[in-house]
Structure 1
Amino acid sequence: MKISFIGGGNMAGAIIGGLKQKGFNTADINVVELDAAKRAQLTEAFGVQATEHLPSVVNSDVIVLAVKPQQLRDLAIFLASFLKQQLIISIAAGISCAALSRWLNGYSAIVRVMPNTPAQIQAGVSGLYAAEGVSMEQREQANLLLSAAGSTLWLDDESKIDAVTAISGSGPAYVFYFIEALEQAALELGFDPEQARSLSLQTFLGASKLASQSDSPAATLRSQVTSKGGTTERAIQSMEQANIKQAIIQAAHAAAERARELGEQLGKD
């Protein structure tokens, strides 16, 4: 399988790095990137071919569109004349399969993907949706690529991509935000910055690992830590009074709504 990435940013690098770790022959990977420094970096790090010439994608089996959403329309219009039977994978947030197909002159072998930043360490999760023109073999190709960066979740409804964006796409920022707060609390309680960082990160790592390996829901695991009349109960009561859980839920809904808005704005032409 020959793969071309158009755009050589962090997410493209994450997927390529994962493929290399899984033993994929990176000589079969081509990256189209205008920035010469990025091209050199990708070639040195992964052994891929890197070029600034878009027509180089013509002989690929899979073309991954890894550019900013604002750049996708012009790219797709130019790319349309080079397409034969390639699978198009788009990781551009907000752009629907219908809009992308329209810009590609009706081409429909499109898989839309929402990955997240832990893909950079092959610990991501990606939501995928396949348009009607995607064959079973092409679904398997898409799954191979994205599973190199972490786990995959196939969706039967494209609108759920906006929800994936709100939960796992934006989700790492919510976690980092909470870590920031916990570190700040540790500093205020007398720890130095290194200690505050270590305590906060290891708590998140350990709790996440426990949750991932347990059959119990998160609410049960939380209750097991929360002894009646104890310190954790006092902390949880404070969070409940501040309505933190509902604020997080509302934040996720706000992110999903913004994803829908961006899709409508960027895909209307």
Structure 2
Amino acid sequence: MTLTYGIIGSGMLGQAMAQGALTGGVAGSSLWMANRSGQPVPLTGGAGVSFTADPQELAEACDVILLCIPPAAMPALKIDASDKLVLSVVAGLTLEGISQATGSARVIRAMSSPAATHCLAYTPWVASAEVTEADRAATRTFFGAMGQTDEITDEAHIDHFTAMTGPVPGFVAYFADSMIRHAMAQGIAPEVAKRAIRQLFLASGEMLKEGATPAAQVQEMIDYAGTTAAGLLALKDSPFDQALSQALSAAAARAREI
């Protein structure tokens, strides 16, 4: 049976996840979106997508519903989805909160990212006790179309993924910008520095995607005892790890406060 998926919210993340779903194989005729205007948003391959301004109409038409609205908008959302599978990527919204807002016992809390546009998102999720194996299969299909996905068992970990993998490129961009600023301080032209570091991170992402673990790749560079080893050893002796951990913990704490 072909399932119908509905996304409530067509902001940056909602549009990105819709595009990822379409690119990853979900048919436009199997996708609904609800937003305040009811007007279509630009989606490649989205000719068959249905749009509505009424979230309840979407809830009644779809088998699987994804909540993808800002946390501040949740109190105004009133839908009855008591017999549906409800997914949510609303930051800070707990499994209990999803159930209370929709009337459904079959709920899944997840976190994704705008990288879904390019089918590069990482979407971890945790399920309520009432979620069935068929529900899990539907969730893997939907989130898997947008990139990589895992079911996790500890709901508290979603806040940490909100901090680590949600804000693409977020912390990675900060590290890249730091390298660019260092290069410029050495007299390297800004446009050259930016191009070099962008290419570095593009290549690094591809090399980290598979094969040796990041830790193993670092150790390989250290064992080689070349120029990179000197820099990595200086980094390991610095407070870098502690500072990054504090930054990620602060972001996770903010996710819990929202």
TM-score over 0.5 (shorter chain): yes
Q: Give the secondary-structure state (helix, strand or coil) at the position aligned to 1:95.
A: coil
Matched, 1:52 2:50: no
Alignment of 1:1-269 (within 5 A): 1-35=3-37, 39-42=39-42, 46-47=46-47, 48-57=49-58, 58-75=60-77, 78-80=78-80, 83-105=81-103, 107-170=104-167, 172-215=169-212, 217-226=213-222, 230-262=226-258
Give me the CA root mean square deviation.
2.2
The aligned counterpart of 1:267 is none
Q: Give the secondary-structure state (helix, strand or coil) at the position aligned to 2:105.
A: coil
Residues 199-232 of structure 1: CA deviation (Å, up to 9, x unaligned): 11221222232232223x3233123323677432
The structural deviation recorded for 1:158 is 1.2
The structural deviation recorded for 1:243 is 1.0
Query: Partner amino acid for 2:22?
Result: K
Which stretch of structure 1 is more off in the superposition, 39-48 or 172-181?
39-48
* Change in 2 beyond 3 A, CA 1:148/1:244: same
Residues 1-40 of structure 1: CA deviation (Å, up to 9, x unaligned): 112211112222222222222332202211111146xx33
- Which whole-Å CA distance do the structure 1 matches of 2:82 and 2:36 have between them? 24
Q: Which runs of 5+ in 2 are unaligned?
A: none
Q: Which runs of 5+ in 1 are unaligned?
A: 263-269
Query: Partner amino acid for 2:54?
Result: H
The aligned counterpart of 1:265 is none
- Which whole-Å CA distance do the structure 2 matches of 1:199 and 1:236 have between them? 19
- Which whole-Å CA distance do the structure 1 matches of 2:166 and 2:136 have between them? 21
- Which whole-Å CA distance do the structure 2 matches of 1:135 and 1:198 have between them? 48
The structural deviation recorded for 1:233 is 3.5
Aligned residues: 254
- Which whole-Å CA distance do the structure 2 matches of 1:235 and 1:142 have between them? 43
* Change in 2 beyond 3 A, CA 1:168/1:221: same
Identity %: 24
- Which whole-Å CA distance do the structure 1 matches of 2:250 and 2:25 have between them? 40
- Which whole-Å CA distance do the structure 2 matches of 1:43 and 1:228 have between them? 47
Residues 130-171 of structure 1: CA deviation (Å, up to 9, x unaligned): 112212111111111111111001011212211222222246
Which stretch of structure 1 is more off in the superposition, 196-205 or 217-226?
217-226
- Which whole-Å CA distance do the structure 1 matches of 2:64 and 2:214 have between them? 39
* Change in 2 beyond 3 A, CA 1:250/1:51: same
* Change in 2 beyond 3 A, CA 1:184/1:35: farther
- Which whole-Å CA distance do the structure 2 matches of 1:179 and 1:29 have between them? 37
Which stretch of structure 1 is more off in the superposition, 230-239 or 151-160?
230-239
Higher helix share: 1
Q: Contact 1:32 / 1:54 at 8 angstroms: preserved in 2?
A: yes
Q: Contact 1:15 / 1:119 at 8 angstroms: preserved in 2?
A: yes
- Which whole-Å CA distance do the structure 1 matches of 2:166 and 2:20 have between them? 18
Which stretch of structure 1 is more off in the superposition, 54-63 or 20-29?
20-29
TM-score, structure 1 as length reference: 0.85
The structural deviation recorded for 1:254 is 2.0
* Change in 2 beyond 3 A, CA 1:34/1:225: same
TM-score, structure 2 as length reference: 0.88
